[in-house]
Amino acid sequence: MARVSFTGNLQRHLACPPAEAGGATVAAVLHAVFQGNPRLRSYVLDDQGRLRRHVNVFVNDRAVGDRRGLSDPVGDDDEVFVIQALSGG
């Protein structure tokens, strides 16, 4: 199973400790995590199931390419990082 970690910025708003989740794609892995933590979904995805504008997801050291469908592949030994990007001046 892939290991999923969340940035400290998200953890300030709700508990989201690292988790182990199975799935062949980023969408499937995140769905498995959201099953155990449903409130987390709205912090990561918009109402159409796409990544929120200021959220990035990396599989190992690679940013996901499919921000809409989250179809990027995930292997059992991969690490998925969900990062809330900061913006402003």
Q: Which amino acid is at 32?
A: A
CATH class as words, domain 2-84:
alpha beta
pLDDT of residue 13: 84
pLDDT tens, residue by residue, 3-43: 999 998 888 889 999 999 999 999 999 999 999 999 999 99
pLDDT tens, residue by residue, 48-59: 999 999 999 999
Which is more confidently placed, 85 or 87?
A: 85
With tokens 């690490």, the residue in question is 79
Q: Starting from the edge strand earliest in sequence, which strands make up the sheet with 79-84, in order?
A: 19-21, 2-6, 79-84, 55-59, 62-63
Does the pLDDT of residue 88 top 90, yes or no? no
Structure tokens belonging to residue 47:
């109402």
pTM of the model as a whole: 0.92
> Which residues contact residue 10 at a Cβ distance below 8 angstroms, ignoring those fewer than 6 apart?
16, 40, 43, 44, 82, 84
Query: Domain spans of the chain?
Result: 2-84
Does the pLDDT of residue 89 top 60, yes or no? no
